[in-house]
Structure 1
Amino acid sequence: MKKTIYILLVSIFTAALVSAQELTWHTDMSKASEFAVKEKKPLLMFFTGSDWCGWCIRLQKEVFQTNEFKKWALENVVLVELDFPKRTPQDDSIRTQNRQLQSMFKVRGYPTIWFVNPEINSEKQINLRSLGSTGYVAGGPTKWIGKAASML
């Protein structure tokens, strides 16, 4: 009986911690890459049309906003949002950066998620080694995380 109560309390506490922790979605690739190198984690680059793309919004609601994804992301990746909004104002430097990365990774549709390992060379330049890409995966967070984990 004590063991069951202990397990229940630990589960509730863990769920509360995960839901209380908000994810950080970086928008500056240089800073995100430096952080990822320091943390020894790959980048999850989320190419999205946040204010117009229905599938992007659906992926956010069904996967990225769930406690299961939050827990997985905090342990496994550094998150980067590369947004292509139509109505929301965006800083010119971020817009330019996002377009360059869109071209580099040949992103043609949204949502597209690329997993990359950033590496800083001797000239302090960042190289991105591709691990794979995905998009919207039906089936909720468990299915999406399974596909993502297979690339890492």
Structure 2
Amino acid sequence: MKNKIAFLLLFIGTISYSQNWKTNFNDAKQEAVSQNKPLLLVFSGSDWCAPCIKLDKNIWQSTEFKKYAAEKLVLERADFPKRKQNQLEDQIKKQNQDLAERYNKDGIFPLVVLLDNKGKVLGTTSYKNVSPTEYIELLNSFLK
């Protein structure tokens, strides 16, 4: 019985801090408006970009960032994988290319763009070798 309760608590805790990365920008914008939250747009090369992979592992997957994001942000990932088995649907590829033309003209990977819920850029950054706390502070500085 104790094992079942412990598992249930762990499962509930995992759900409450799971991330909900969107891949449809229009859905993400609508959610940002309805929840009155900023939108974090991340340009990533998930299967080839070493700094992108480090950012995901060290920041996005941290418990601290997951909790922060669940409360404060809408998350959108514009991924540009290179490996054949990781290719995205044509519609998502086109959307991500359009987003890159608008928000990532220099082709920087990773590029982290914080937008208000109307699509205005509040700030940009990239991978930083810092703690999740410091990264969250950087994102918060864009909101002031």
CA contact (8 A) 1:42 1:115 kept: yes
Task: Give how far 1:143 is off.
Answer: 1.2
Letter in 2 for 1:74: A
**TM-score normalised to the size of structure 1?**
0.80
Between 71-80 and 16-25, the greater mean CA deviation after superposition: 16-25
1:1-152 matches, cutoff 5 A: 17=13, 21-87=17-83, 88-105=86-103, 106-119=105-118, 128-152=119-143
Alpha-carbon distance change, 62 to 93 in structure 1, aligned in 2, over 3 angstroms: same
Other structure's SS at 2:141 match: helix
Question: What TM-score, normalized to structure 2?
Answer: 0.85
**Alignment partners' CA distance in 1, 2:135 and 2:111:** 13
Bigger Cα Rg: 1
Q: How far 1:118 sits from its partner (Å)?
A: 2.9
Structure 2 portions without partners, runs of 5+: 1-8
8 Å Cα contact 1:116-1:130 kept in structure 2: yes
Higher strand share: 1
RMSD: 1.6
Q: Detail structure 1 runs of 4+ shifted over 3 Å in the superposition.
A: none
How far the C-alpha of 1:21 sits from its partner, in A, is: 2.7
Q: Taking every aligned residue pair, what percent have the same amino acid on both sides?
A: 38
